[in-house]
Amino acid sequence: MSAPASTRGALLAGQSGVARTSALLPQLVLGLVCGGYAVGAATGWGSAQVALFMGDFGLSAAALTAAVSCFLFARAADNRFRPAWLLFSLSSLMASGGNAVWGWYEFVRGAPVPSPSLADLFYLCFAPPAIVGLLVLAKRPVTRAGWVCLALDSWLIGGSLLTLSWSLALAHTAHVADVEGDSVARAALSLAYPLLDIVLVSMVLALHFRRSSVNRAAVNTAIAALALTVLCDALFTSPLLRQTYHSGQLLDAGWFAGSLLLAYAPWGAAREAGNAVQDQDAGARPTSRPIAGSLAALTPYLAAAVCTLGILYNVIEGRRVDRVVVFTGCTVVLALVVRQGIMLVDNIALTQELAQKENHFRSLVQGSSDVIMIADPSGILRYVSPAAAGVYGRDADELVGTELSSIIHPDDLGRVVHEVRRFLAAPPAEEPTTRIECRFRSGSGDWLNVESTVNRHQGGLILNSRDVTERVRLQAQLQHNAEHDPLTDLPNRALFTSRVRQALGGRRAGDAGTAVLFIDLDGFKAANDRLGHQAGDELLIQAARRLQDAVRAGDTAARLGGDEFAALIVGDGSREQDAREFQVHEIADRLRLTLSEPYRIGAGEVRVTASIGVAFAEPGITPNDLMRNADLAMYRAKAGGKNRVELYAPQMQADVVRRSELATRLRGALRDGEFALLHQPVVHLASGTVAAVAAQARWRSAQGILFTPAEFLRIAEDSDRTAELSRWILEEAVEQAADRAGAGHQVSVAVRLPARRLLDRALPAASVEALLTRYGLPSGALMIEVADSDPRVSFEDLEQRLAALRRLGVRIALDGFGSGYAAINALRRLPIDVLKLDRGLVEGVVESARLHKITSGLLRIACDLGMQSVADGVDVPEQVLALRAMGCTHGQGMAFSGPLDEYRLRRTLARGTFPVPGGVPAQPALAGGSVPSLTGSHGETPVPPT
């Protein structure tokens, strides 16, 4: 029993004890009052007058108390027994009236009670209401035969008692009355009392075995009270006591106790019924009544035996058998025969019904698809239904006689035994059945998953079993599908998180050797777009197989989604932290090399690399935090050049927080006017004149921090924000360029836009045309610098977009030339006017002979294609000299000027030129003679065929 259940049981037991104590007090008072009356009657009450008063009016008061008590209870009760208590009240009221009349004659008038008198009328009216009340209290028969049997049982009891009483006393009383010449009224009165008592006793005995189970205690108490009253009446009517009786004798104590017991019956029994409910709640089990049932069945035969004894008594005494005895005995025998005939017919009907139900249930059991087994208390199977052949593959006869434990899987046996013991120990009312699932041995030797509903049966068990093997397999498959990736069959994110939680708990909690690896395949997106999704899926399957083979047996490899994988390296706590971290780093680097090997897809090979982030467990870290740390480390590995392993450091989380806060502030920066547009002069390297200006945005936040484009564009991951920023830069650059043109500074403006933004629907070609028209910017005054580093951009769409812009007079520059993976392809396919050398080439053009040759070759290509060239990041004079010698036409950088605000820019444009190191050299051979201008028309820059 659980703690709450035992606590509830103790509480109910305490409440039951208090209730029994409160119920015992009225019984004690009742016993004391009845005992006091009996003592007074036995001692003669001290005087004859007191004895007369207590023998008459005392009995009247007791009967009146019973009448009032039953009446009040009948008013308060709301059930079908209300008429019975009203009849008992009327019966007691009659007894009270009879005793009052008796006292009027004896005590008040001091005269003997005449016979017959009004008291006799009251006494005779006592029995009929009581008899009818007992009928109301009886358990009503369900069938007509039941009512007939009840009437016959009553007559059998009453007739047998009449036969015995007539033989012993009543015949003598009738004979004496006849001899003495008593009147008919007196003779009838002499016989009426015993006859009514016989009827009442018959009803008491008959109903004792047929009383209703509802309010049983009240019925028993009422029957006991009436039985005590009838017993006293029988003693009073006997010839021995009637001649010597006078009021106040000990016999009155029986009537007095009977009246008070009837008064107590409804109220005390109701209190005891409440106690019984509490006892039942506390776990008391109802007990059967086999003895009472046997006595009820033997009652007719006992009554017939009593009748027979009455007749034998007359025969043995040599008396003439009285006609009343003969008539009564014959009717009793006839009633017994009729009753036996009714019972015989009823038994035949019940036997047929039982046989029909037995056949019905046998058909159900034998035709059921479930296996029904009955095991005795020792666990031996005593019955097995025929369905066992189809379910278990074993004949039912083969299983009968075997132990139930012999067919249960050994791994499940302990759990099954424990559940069966617990079930048998539980109260049947609280747990009538239980459900057990285990594995049974089939006829082929396989183990079947079986679900059984278990019931109690004569100390043993009834098992209703069914094969649920397919359901268990389906559940296992569904569970596997819910926890594994459908493509690679590796654990998914949910199962991986669960494994990480298990690794961080229990005895391995805080083990610094436990680590999580986040793995991302670099270049998978491009390969997937180039080869198709089917090839991409095959690549992921092969990568998953490599990852699964590379990790240890106790570790977990998982696919989190897309081209992201993960691995859980479980620590054993047997090494120093540094050695363990070194081992995990070696495992991660081995995984990187394994995943970076070529993949055989179809007839060709595909190469991708792997970026891996590693995070180690710390005391108190949660699974989500550990996985987040590994994810941050993986992104740091990708940002650091890809194809590398990066260990998590706390600074990574600080950078994420900073970028998140910066992104949040960036969303409102445009709305609050925190962005400003600066321009850096693009200088002709031969003459030093300003050929164009490059627009560059700066963000001065509300905290006074000035962010460069590289800083705030890197954290502007929200495409809506970057698109809005690109539109603002373009519109602001065109507007300011138009203002400068109006002021006499005719210089073109270059705006850098990512290729992805050029294909954005938010920036169609019509919007650029409308922008140029609105501000009146002349043809060739706007140049868009396109970055080619985004592999997601389609060259076909970009080519069409740039051709449309060129038709509007917009010049196109290829930004970052020499660094992008598709630079040559872009140069071959896109309509380009200007090549803008990447800053990385320009920075090393003086120090590195290799970069010098590469840069020289790229400039030769630009010159051969008739394109202008701009070097970005020209910061020192030596770079100016080297680039100019290679044939580079223009440059921008700190060697000339940094980004300028509008005021300083106009002063620079008014000045017109910058000093060029080394003076004005001769035109290089690659230049083809004259120096091209950034503001020339499209016709001056031929586009080679693609």
pLDDT digits over 380-399, tens only? Answer: 888 888 888 878 888 888 88
Q: What pLDDT, on a 0 to 100 scale, did the predictor assign at position 182?
A: 47
Q: How many residues does the chain have?
A: 946
Which residues have CB under 8 Å from 486's CB, separation 6+? Answer: none
d(CA 518, CA 64): 96
Identify the CA nearest to 263 among candidates 35, 521, 61, 485: 61
d(CA 153, CA 137): 16
Q: What pLDDT, on a 0 to 100 scale, did the predictor assign at position 945?
A: 32
Q: What is the pLDDT of residues 909-927, one digit of tens each?
A: 998 889 988 765 434 333 3
Does 377 or 694 have the greater pLDDT score?
A: 694
**CA 492, 496, 499: angle at the middle one, nearest 5?**
150
Range name among 243-252, 631-640, 742-751, 882-891 with the lowest pLDDT average = 243-252
CA separation (Å) from 736 to 533, 669, 753, 775, 777?
Answer: 47, 20, 17, 9, 10
Q: What pLDDT, on a 0 to 100 scale, did the predictor assign at position 293?
A: 46
Identify the CA nearest to 815 among candidates 785, 852, 857: 785
Q: What pLDDT, on a 0 to 100 scale, did the predictor assign at position 946?
A: 27
Mean predicted lDDT score pLDDT of the chain: 77
d(CA 164, CA 202): 13
Three-state secondary structure call for residue 557: strand
Residue 377: band (very low, low, confident or very high) from pLDDT cuts 50, 70, 90: confident
| Residue 869: its H or E element | strand 868-872
Do residues 461 and 455 lie in contact, with contact meaning Cβ atoms separated by under 8 Å? Answer: yes
Q: Specify which residues 460 forms β-bridges with.
A: 457
Q: What pLDDT, on a 0 to 100 scale, did the predictor assign at position 511?
A: 60
Q: Specify which residues 753 forms β-bridges with.
A: 786
Residue 689: band (very low, low, confident or very high) from pLDDT cuts 50, 70, 90: very high
Q: What pLDDT, on a 0 to 100 scale, did the predictor assign at position 165?
A: 57
The full 3-state SS of 62-91, as one line of letters, equals: HHHHHHHHHHHHHHHCCCCCHHHHHHHHHH
CA distance from start to end of the chain = 89
Q: What pLDDT, on a 0 to 100 scale, did the predictor assign at position 721?
A: 62
Q: What pLDDT, on a 0 to 100 scale, did the predictor assign at position 365?
A: 63
Does 702 or 659 have the greater pLDDT score?
A: 659
Q: What pLDDT, on a 0 to 100 scale, did the predictor assign at position 796?
A: 81
Residue 559 has pLDDT above 90, yes or no: yes
Residue 346 has pLDDT above 90, yes or no: no
Q: What is the pLDDT of residues 719-736, one digit of tens each?
A: 556 677 788 888 899 999
d(CA 103, CA 113): 9
Residue 940 has pLDDT above 50, yes or no: no
Range name among 70-74, 651-655, 686-690, 820-824 with the lowest pLDDT average = 820-824
The top-scoring range by mean pLDDT among 79-83, 311-315, 469-473, 716-720 is 469-473
Q: Can you say whether the dihedral through the CA atoms of 23, 26, 29, 31 is positive or negative?
A: negative
Average pLDDT of span 754-762: 75
pTM (global) more than 0.75: no
Residue 508: band (very low, low, confident or very high) from pLDDT cuts 50, 70, 90: low
Identify the CA nearest to 661 among candidates 672, 669, 649: 669
Does 576 or 47 have the greater pLDDT score?
A: 47
Residue 132 has pLDDT above 80, yes or no: no
Do residues 230 and 198 lie in contact, with contact meaning Cβ atoms separated by under 8 Å? Answer: no
d(CA 490, CA 266): 76
Residue 937: band (very low, low, confident or very high) from pLDDT cuts 50, 70, 90: very low
Q: What is the pLDDT of residues 510-554, one digit of tens each?
A: 566 789 999 999 988 888 888 888 989 999 999 999 999 988 888
Residue 53 has pLDDT above 60, yes or no: yes
Residue 879: band (very low, low, confident or very high) from pLDDT cuts 50, 70, 90: very high
Average pLDDT of span 496-507: 83
d(CA 570, CA 617): 10
**Number of Cβ within a 10 Å radius of residue 283:** 15
d(CA 747, CA 64): 129
Q: What is the pLDDT of residues 191-231, one digit of tens each?
A: 555 555 655 565 555 555 555 555 667 777 877 787 777 77
Do residues 880 and 874 lie in contact, with contact meaning Cβ atoms separated by under 8 Å? Answer: yes
Q: What pLDDT, on a 0 to 100 scale, did the predictor assign at position 446?
A: 85
Do residues 699 and 725 lie in contact, with contact meaning Cβ atoms separated by under 8 Å? Answer: no
Does 631 or 619 have the greater pLDDT score?
A: 631
Q: Distance between alpha carbon 264 and the CA centroid of its chain, in Å?
A: 53
Q: What is the pLDDT of residues 26-47, one digit of tens each?
A: 788 888 888 888 888 888 887 8
The top-scoring range by mean pLDDT among 230-239, 424-433, 679-688, 772-781 is 679-688
d(CA 624, CA 334): 92
Beta-strand relationship, 811-817 and 782-787: parallel
In a 13 Å sphere around the CA of 168, the CA atoms on its Cβ side amount to 16
Average pLDDT of span 606-614: 91
Q: What pLDDT, on a 0 to 100 scale, did the predictor assign at position 506?
A: 63
Residue 566 has pLDDT above 60, yes or no: yes
Residue 892 has pLDDT above 90, yes or no: yes
Burial (CB count <10 Å: 0-12, 13-18, 19+), residue 469:
middle
Q: What pLDDT, on a 0 to 100 scale, did the predictor assign at position 512?
A: 63
Q: What pLDDT, on a 0 to 100 scale, did the predictor assign at position 800?
A: 85
